[in-house]
Protein backbone atom coordinates (compact mmCIF):
# COMPACT_ATOMS: atom_id res chain seq x y z
CA UNK A 1 0.00 0.00 0.00
CA UNK A 2 1.10 3.56 -0.69
CA UNK A 3 -0.39 6.85 0.48
CA UNK A 4 0.37 10.12 -1.30
CA UNK A 5 -0.67 13.50 0.08
CA UNK A 6 -1.90 16.00 -2.49
CA UNK A 7 -0.52 18.90 -0.46
CA UNK A 8 3.04 17.53 -0.82
CA UNK A 9 2.65 17.03 -4.59
CA UNK A 10 1.28 20.55 -5.11
CA UNK A 11 4.32 22.13 -3.48
CA UNK A 12 6.82 21.10 -6.18
CA UNK A 13 6.21 24.05 -8.52
CA UNK A 14 5.84 21.69 -11.50
CA UNK A 15 2.64 21.49 -13.57
CA UNK A 16 2.71 17.66 -13.62
CA UNK A 17 4.09 15.43 -10.88
CA UNK A 18 4.01 11.66 -11.29
CA UNK A 19 3.61 9.90 -7.94
CA UNK A 20 3.00 6.28 -8.94
CA UNK A 21 4.33 3.96 -11.65
CA UNK A 22 3.65 0.24 -11.99
CA UNK A 23 4.00 -2.06 -14.98
CA UNK A 24 0.35 -1.44 -15.95
CA UNK A 25 -0.32 2.23 -15.12
CA UNK A 26 1.10 5.54 -13.95
CA UNK A 27 -0.57 8.31 -11.94
CA UNK A 28 0.15 11.94 -11.34
CA UNK A 29 -1.24 15.32 -10.43
CA UNK A 30 -1.57 18.01 -13.11
CA UNK A 31 -2.10 21.59 -11.91
CA UNK A 32 -2.96 24.48 -14.22
CA UNK A 33 -3.33 27.97 -12.72
CA UNK A 34 -6.25 30.16 -13.76
CA UNK A 35 -5.51 31.81 -17.10
CA UNK A 36 -2.71 29.39 -18.00
CA UNK A 37 -2.27 27.47 -21.25
CA UNK A 38 -2.44 23.67 -21.45
CA UNK A 39 0.21 22.86 -24.04
CA UNK A 40 0.12 19.06 -23.81
CA UNK A 41 0.26 16.90 -26.91
CA UNK A 42 -1.64 13.64 -27.51
CA UNK A 43 -0.31 10.64 -25.59
CA UNK A 44 0.21 7.07 -26.78
CA UNK A 45 -1.57 5.82 -23.66
CA UNK A 46 -5.19 5.93 -22.57
CA UNK A 47 -5.78 8.62 -19.99
CA UNK A 48 -8.27 9.25 -17.21
CA UNK A 49 -8.66 12.66 -15.53
CA UNK A 50 -10.43 13.32 -12.25
CA UNK A 51 -11.05 17.02 -11.65
CA UNK A 52 -10.27 17.49 -7.95
CA UNK A 53 -10.69 21.28 -8.01
CA UNK A 54 -11.17 24.17 -10.41
CA UNK A 55 -13.06 25.01 -13.57
CA UNK A 56 -12.13 25.11 -17.27
CA UNK A 57 -13.26 24.10 -20.72
CA UNK A 58 -12.06 20.82 -22.22
CA UNK A 59 -11.98 19.94 -25.91
CA UNK A 60 -11.01 16.85 -27.86
CA UNK A 61 -11.69 18.45 -31.24
CA UNK A 62 -15.17 16.93 -31.46
CA UNK A 63 -16.66 17.62 -28.06
CA UNK A 64 -16.28 20.76 -25.98
CA UNK A 65 -17.43 20.86 -22.36
CA UNK A 66 -17.11 22.88 -19.18
CA UNK A 67 -15.45 20.73 -16.51
CA UNK A 68 -15.29 21.30 -12.77
CA UNK A 69 -14.62 19.53 -9.47
CA UNK A 70 -15.98 15.99 -9.43
CA UNK A 71 -15.92 15.45 -13.20
CA UNK A 72 -14.16 12.42 -14.72
CA UNK A 73 -12.85 12.46 -18.29
CA UNK A 74 -11.57 9.56 -20.40
CA UNK A 75 -9.26 10.25 -23.35
CA UNK A 76 -8.34 7.53 -25.84
CA UNK A 77 -4.72 6.96 -26.81
CA UNK A 78 -3.43 9.47 -29.41
CA UNK A 79 -6.60 11.61 -29.11
CA UNK A 80 -6.00 15.37 -29.41
CA UNK A 81 -7.23 17.11 -26.24
CA UNK A 82 -6.63 20.14 -24.05
CA UNK A 83 -7.95 22.27 -21.23
CA UNK A 84 -8.52 25.96 -21.97
CA UNK A 85 -10.31 29.02 -20.57
CA UNK A 86 -9.08 27.92 -17.16
CA UNK A 87 -11.12 30.21 -14.93
CA UNK A 88 -10.22 28.58 -11.58
CA UNK A 89 -6.98 26.80 -10.65
CA UNK A 90 -7.38 23.31 -12.10
CA UNK A 91 -6.17 20.36 -10.02
CA UNK A 92 -6.37 17.03 -11.83
CA UNK A 93 -5.61 13.46 -10.87
CA UNK A 94 -4.29 11.79 -14.03
CA UNK A 95 -4.04 8.04 -14.71
CA UNK A 96 -2.25 6.61 -17.73
CA UNK A 97 -2.54 3.00 -18.92
CA UNK A 98 -0.08 1.63 -19.78
CA UNK A 99 2.33 3.93 -17.90
CA UNK A 100 3.03 7.26 -19.61
CA UNK A 101 5.87 7.00 -22.10
CA UNK A 102 5.80 3.21 -22.46
CA UNK A 103 3.30 2.68 -25.29
Q: Where are the domains of the chain?
A: 15-97
Give which of 41, 31, 27 is closest to 96, Cα–Cα.
27
pLDDT in tens, 37-92: 998 999 999 999 999 999 999 999 899 999 999 999 999 999 999 999 999 999 99
Query: At a CB cut-off of 8 Å and minimum separation 6, what does 1 contact?
Result: none
pLDDT of residue 103: 80
Q: Taking residues 20-43, report their average pLDDT.
A: 94
CATH classification of 15-97, choosing from 1.10.40.50, 2.40.50.100, 2.60.120.10, 3.50.50.60?
Answer: 2.60.120.10
pLDDT of residue 14: 85
What predicted TM-score, i.e. pTM, was given to this entire model? 0.91
Query: Quick one: pLDDT band at residue 100, thresholds 50, 70, 90?
Result: very high
Burial code (b: 16+ CB inside 10 Å, e: under 16) for 31-45 equals bbeeeeebeeeebeb
Amino acid sequence: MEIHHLSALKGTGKAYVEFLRTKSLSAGVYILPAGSVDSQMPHNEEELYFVAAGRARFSNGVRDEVVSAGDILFVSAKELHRFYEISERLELLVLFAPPEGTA
